[in-house]
Amino acid sequence: MKRCSLMSDIAGKPCILCCAITGSVPRKADNPAVPISVAEQIESSHAAVEAGASIIHAHVRNDDETPSSDPDKFAVLKEGLEKHCPGVIIQFSTGGRSGAGWERGGMLSLKPDMASLSVGSNNFPTRVYENPPDLVAWLASEMQEFSVTPEVEAFDLSHLLQAQAMHAQGKLFGKLYVQFVMGVKNAMPVDKEVFDFYVQIMQSRAPDAAWCAAGIGAAQIVVNEWAIAAGGHTRAGLEDNVRLNKAALAPSNAALISRAADLCAKYDRPVASPAEARAILGLRPA
């Protein structure tokens, strides 16, 4: 019975699918479909948008596949996405794997619709993910200056509460949007009880905010389903997961978005168009 009442609450509510196309970690050796060049990124994004993605979360890479934070590369990518994926929400990563310190915000002056923002530190698989308070405050202030809506990456419960506090203090541009990230080794595991608590904390303390969730590796599809079933938004793509299952690599970013779109259908949730996603997130029209 509980499931029926929950489903009636979410039925018909559009679900935003974000495609994390490249990231900083996976290489062609892991999956040849990982888009590295800007041309590959635009082609892969186009197919993902056709499959239902309304946000493209992007990192850029050097020719040797190592991570880059070069604003010129971001500029070329933005121009290509605007041309070939009109209306899609462009979200640049300010994550710490693509650059160090203040380099991480060098592309914000390009005024993407959104940028990822980490608001606290935690461990990553082989290192500390450092987000000291002065850097977080600077990235948030740059986003305000350039009218960039942050997607706060919550790798831990404290990040979720910090996001709410910063938003209440007027330090985050636009509407509050928080992504729960689960399954990064040495950070928050994929845990349904914690996920449910995250949702509860968002609904009770920031009822006007929106939230999404992402799972890493084989948990991508698991967290996609939790988020869709709970009325949130979700993220898929080769940045977080290069496989369809144990036996097969994902053939494309679009294939991972299609899987999430199929889950939206299962829960009676229409996949949000880019225009609908812009309205839900309080972003400027394209």
Residue 100: which residues within 8 A CB-CB, separation 6 or more? none
Q: Figure out which of the listed residues 22, 45, 69, 93 binds Mg ion, where binding follows CB under 5 A.
A: 93
Residue nearest to Mg ion (CB): 93
* d(C-alpha 43, C-alpha 40), whole Å: 5
* Closer residue to Mg ion, CB minimum distance, 35 or 95: 95
* Closer residue to Mg ion, CB minimum distance, 93 or 164: 93
Does 69 engage in binding with Mg ion (CB under 5 A)?
Answer: no
Q: Cβ-count burial of 161 within 10 angstroms (0-12 exposed, 13-18 middle, 19+ buried)? A: middle
Question: Could you tell me the smallest distance in angstroms from the CB atom of residue 171 to Mg ion?
Answer: 22
* Closer residue to Mg ion, CB minimum distance, 93 or 241: 93
Lookup: tokens for 186: 């040495």
Question: Could you tell me the smallest distance in angstroms from the CB atom of residue 151 to Mg ion?
Answer: 10
Question: Could you tell me the smallest distance in angstroms from the CB atom of residue 56 to Mg ion?
Answer: 11
Return the range that interacts with Mg ion (CB under 5 A); candidates 90-98, 178-186, 227-235, 278-286: 90-98
Number of residues engaging Mg ion in binding (CB under 5 A): 2
Question: Could you tell me the smallest distance in angstroms from the CB atom of residue 57 to Mg ion?
Answer: 6
* d(C-alpha 221, C-alpha 44), whole Å: 20
* Closer residue to Mg ion, CB minimum distance, 41 or 231: 41
Binding site residues, Mg ion, CB under 5 A: 93, 95
